Structure 1
């Protein structure tokens, strides 16, 4: 299970790096960086943590919908939906969901750790 979580996290990081494009060295949208005239930075802001997490959750949802569609097509007798494809899609959906739940659990634990810190 830890390998699956590491894989998902590395995919999220890779997606974030790709979404930054040629400005990969630029700070993220919520990071402190050089400020131009008027208080705004000159570079466009990269997607932050919320956007990255939202994209990852959307991808998991899309994977689950794809698996459901393939399953329904197989049940209806569609010759393009063979059992192997359906089973692989269902397993991908299950692994993606379990990884998402584990990431959520770790985020909740991190939040609780921060809230329990002495001031």
Structure 2
């Protein structure tokens, strides 16, 4: 299904990072690269949805309401999943920083 590509991309990248054995910081990008790629995907989805919304408002006959709403919902879902991933990462970082050594 092409309709949830940004979310599937984010999940597959996270699974790839999780399956990879722990290595040094020079392990080909790692989680930071996966997050950057997911952020680019979400940004592209949001830009595409905004473009479709604008074209629909200008009554472009090639753009339907259903397609526009679907693109907007995909962009929102991708953003929300990326936001939740970021929140979990910040929460984990905070817990680690508050551990007693």
**Structure 1: gaps of 5 or more residues:** 18-25, 33-44
Per-residue deviation at 1:46? 2.8
- Show the counterpart of 1:52: 34
- Show the counterpart of 1:75: 57
Asked if the contact 1:8–1:99 (Cα under 8 Å) also holds between the matched residues in 2, the reply is no
**Structure 2: gaps of 5 or more residues:** none
Q: Distance in 2 between matches of 1:54 and 1:10?
A: 13
Considering fraction of residues, name the structure with more helix. Answer: 2
Greater CA radius of gyration, 1 or 2?
1
> Normalising by the residue count of structure 1, what TM-score does the alignment of the two structures yield?
0.67
Q: Describe how 1:62-101 pairs up with structure 2 within 5 A.
A: 62-101=44-83
Per-residue deviation at 1:50? 1.2
Per-residue deviation at 1:8? 6.1
Q: Describe how 1:10-25 pairs up with structure 2 within 5 A.
A: 10-13=11-14, 16=16
| Runs of 4+ residues over 3 Å off in structure 1 | 6-9
Q: CA RMSD in A?
A: 2.9
Within the alignment, does 1:108 sit opposite 2:90 as a pair? yes
Higher relative contact order (CA 8 A, sep 6+): 2
1:78–1:9 distance in 2 versus 1, CA, 3 Å = closer
